[in-house]
Structure 1
Amino acid sequence: MTDRTRAHVFVSGKVQGVFYRANTRDTAESKGIDGWVQNLSDGRVEAVFEGPESTVEEMVEWCHTGSPAADVDDVDVEYDDPNGEDGFRVRR
């Protein structure tokens, strides 16, 4: 089995109200990534991606652009061991 990893991502900028979460979900599902995405009260978007290391890296890279209407200022990411996310969902 391919080595799996977990990326915990915080995206700042104009990332709420621009379909960022929906686009993240669609992109993650198309790549077979497990995890979730949600808006935070401070205007950022938080996401967790679990899957093969190279595919998770592609997802993190995608976050720097995100949805077509987004204007991303920064992407903070922390890596950890996967904890068994199953499927991809939008929270809140």
Structure 2
Amino acid sequence: MIRKRVVVTGVVQGVGFRWSARETARRIGVAGFAFNRADGAVELEVEGEPAAIERMLTWLADGPPGSRVTAIDVSDLEPVGDDAFRIIARQ
């Protein structure tokens, strides 16, 4: 298992990005969470098998219809044992 923090920038809020990310994560077997940042980005933490994480990162680089991803910033984290993918609220 590996875990990544991903910050996605571009037109990624107000276009169903987090909900689509949750459905994609569930479909490919990735756990973690997503939330909207005050700066207009979406931040996620994703955890799973390396191949599943790569598929998720590929999806995040494109996003759902209606979004326009300009960049993703990916960093490594220690796995924490998440067993589901959630949308959370951050302040």
TM bracket, shorter-chain basis: over 0.9
TM-score, structure 1 as length reference: 0.93
TM-score, structure 2 as length reference: 0.94
The reply on whether 1:16 has 2:1 as its aligned counterpart is: no
> How many Å apart are 1:54 and its aligned residue?
0.9
- 1:61 corresponding residue in structure 2: 58
The size of the alignment, in residue pairs, is 89
Aligned partners of 1:90 and 1:66: how far apart in 2? Answer: 16
Counting aligned pairs with the same residue, the percent is 38
Aligned partners of 2:4 and 2:53: how far apart in 1? Answer: 7
Name structure 1 gaps, 5 residues minimum: none
Moved over 3 A (4+): none
The root-mean-square deviation of aligned C-alpha atoms, in Å, is: 0.7
- 1:49 corresponding residue in structure 2: 46
> How many Å apart are 1:86 and its aligned residue?
2.0
- 2:4 corresponding residue in structure 1: 7
Match of 1:71 among 65, 68, 72: 68
Question: What SS does the corresponding residue of 1:64 show, helix, strand or coil?
Answer: helix
> How many Å apart are 1:87 and its aligned residue?
0.5
Name structure 2 gaps, 5 residues minimum: none
- The amino acid of 1:69's aligned partner reads G
Aligned partners of 2:58 and 2:52: how far apart in 1? Answer: 10
Per-residue displacement from partner, 1:42-88 (whole Å, max 9, x unpaired)?
A: 00000011000111011011101111100001000001221111211
